[in-house]
Amino acid sequence: MLTLFHKIAFSPQLKKKLLLTALIFLVFRMLAHIPLPGVDVVRLEQLFSGSQFLSLLNVFSGGTLARFSIAAVGINPYITASIIMQLAGMVIPKLKALQKEGESGRERVNQYTRLLSVPLSIVQSISVLALLRSQDLLVAADPVVLGALILSLVTGSLVVMWLGELVSLYGLGNGISMILFAGIISQLPTAVAQVLSLTTADQVMSVVIFMSLFLLVIGLIVFMNEAIRKVQIQYAKRTRGSKVYGGQTTHLPIRVNVTGVLPIIFAVSLMLVPSFLARILVSSGNEQWISLGQNISIWFSQTSYVYMSIYFIIVLAFTFFSALIFFNAEDISSELKKSGAFVPGIRPGSPTKKYLEFVVSRITFAGALFLGFIAILPSLAQLLTQIQSLAIGGTGVLIVVSVILETTKQAESLVVEQNYEQYT
């Protein structure tokens, strides 16, 4: 790592990319502190601190939702649009063919993703205002004012998306991932300050133990993020005249964590349903319904074993489902067959497809256990330390570590490319 920083310091191109990325981060954080009127911010922060789902959305927005800034919706519409386009590519042949057309095809898909982000940002802006109104946090009631708030939120979302595109084009790293990274890191000083201010003398040892385990978790995330299963691939020999071509042996790398944080996001969305149902039952006025709503609130509190067990199982199920979607064994087996490659001992075509699906299902089990542990990590932290302010999301840590690893690899490849160009 120190060697990489040394090479960046003596590389004008990398220094320019790094400075531009830092400047874009600064603009993003300035947008995060431009507030919109008409909301009780103090009560809004209390609402977000009491819900894990809302806290996760707040993490992705870089704390802008709890402040209700102009960038409150943030990059979430673009992320949702990207997921929709990836899933649509699995079932729409024309879109699937477009994704395989190289750089021009990917650019068209990206353009469709940007266009899809606009209506999604409108829907999410309306959802944010509806949530605030349901909690009596929205002071403004004039339709003109509400329309102006929606327009401001949509504009802020599109500006954040544009900043991410600038990072991808001219900066360092993937733009969307870097925006998420900047938002999560920006909340780290606040989280540490809250822990230090609320920790009593009896809880100091618990905090020390937790931080030690937290460092081990970071090491586990790095290990699982880089873990791959190498499937041996061999190319058929071809004879032309007196010369023999092919016959090389290589491997097909399959990542253990194929799906990233997507299963956790889906699982948190489902786990939001019981809490909303409990609120409706408690406010119904019927004693039996109120009692049931209170029991549901207890069962699905963040530190209850029922909540953690169901959350863990849902993450496992979504991980397997997502892995089968994102790892297209049929396309891979077809490409191998076209290039004259095969898995030793496995016939090309359908047998190779079944073998790859078998391998993916086995390694996905390990990845699913890992994601399940990361998902319930905040609940375990609160349960073991008895410090409610230790709601440090494992999802946020996973995103931060993944972005650092990917950006480091990109910087190293740029250094190697520049060194190569000097001798050509």
What CATH number has the domain bearing residue 226?
1.10.3370.10
**pLDDT mean over 37-54:** 72
Which residue among 180, 196, 212 closes a domain?
A: 196
What was the pLDDT predicted at 245? 62
* 105 lies in the same domain as 56: yes
For the chain, give the mean pLDDT: 78
* 116 lies in the same domain as 81: yes
pLDDT band (50, 70, 90) for residue 335: confident
What was the pLDDT predicted at 281? 77
Between 313 and 265, where is the model more confident? Answer: 313
Specify whether the CB–CB gap between 195 and 390 falls below 8 A. yes
User: What whole-number distance in Å separates Cα of residue 166 and Cα of residue 71?
Assistant: 17
pLDDT band (50, 70, 90) for residue 55: low
Domain count, the chain: 2
125-131 — which CB contacts under 8 Å span 24+ positions? 125/73, 125/149, 125/150, 125/153, 125/154, 125/157, 126/150, 128/65, 128/72, 128/73, 128/153
* 210 lies in the same domain as 286: yes
* 249 lies in the same domain as 335: yes
Residue 333 within any structural domain of the chain:
yes
* 27 lies in the same domain as 163: yes
Specify whether the CB–CB gap between 264 and 238 falls below 8 A. no
Residue 399 within any structural domain of the chain:
no
Angstrom distances, CA of residue 223 to CA of 220, 319, 407: 5, 18, 16
What was the pLDDT predicted at 151? 92
Specify whether the CB–CB gap between 57 and 93 falls below 8 A. no
What was the pLDDT predicted at 418? 67
Which residue among 196, 215, 250 closes a domain?
A: 196
> Which residue in this structure is represented by tokens 């349960």?
383
Residue 403 within any structural domain of the chain:
no
* 116 lies in the same domain as 156: yes
Residue 49 within any structural domain of the chain:
yes
pLDDT band (50, 70, 90) for residue 391: very low
Domain coverage including residue 360: 202-386
* 287 lies in the same domain as 138: no
The token pair that represents 91 in the structure block: 């079932």
* 301 lies in the same domain as 287: yes
* 224 lies in the same domain as 327: yes
Residue 213 within any structural domain of the chain:
yes
Q: Is the pLDDT score of 199 beyond 50?
A: yes
Residue 172 within any structural domain of the chain:
yes
pLDDT tens digits, residue range 163-190? Answer: 988 988 888 888 888 888 888 787 777 6
User: What whole-number distance in Å separates Cα of residue 163 and Cα of residue 121?
Assistant: 16
Residue 424 within any structural domain of the chain:
no
Which residue among 143, 178, 196 closes a domain?
A: 196
User: What whole-number distance in Å separates Cα of residue 296 and Cα of residue 300?
Assistant: 6
pTM: 0.75
* 9 lies in the same domain as 148: yes
The token pair that represents 167 in the structure block: 């990072």
* 120 lies in the same domain as 215: no
Residue 419 within any structural domain of the chain:
no
Between 223 and 133, where is the model more confident? Answer: 223
* 180 lies in the same domain as 237: no
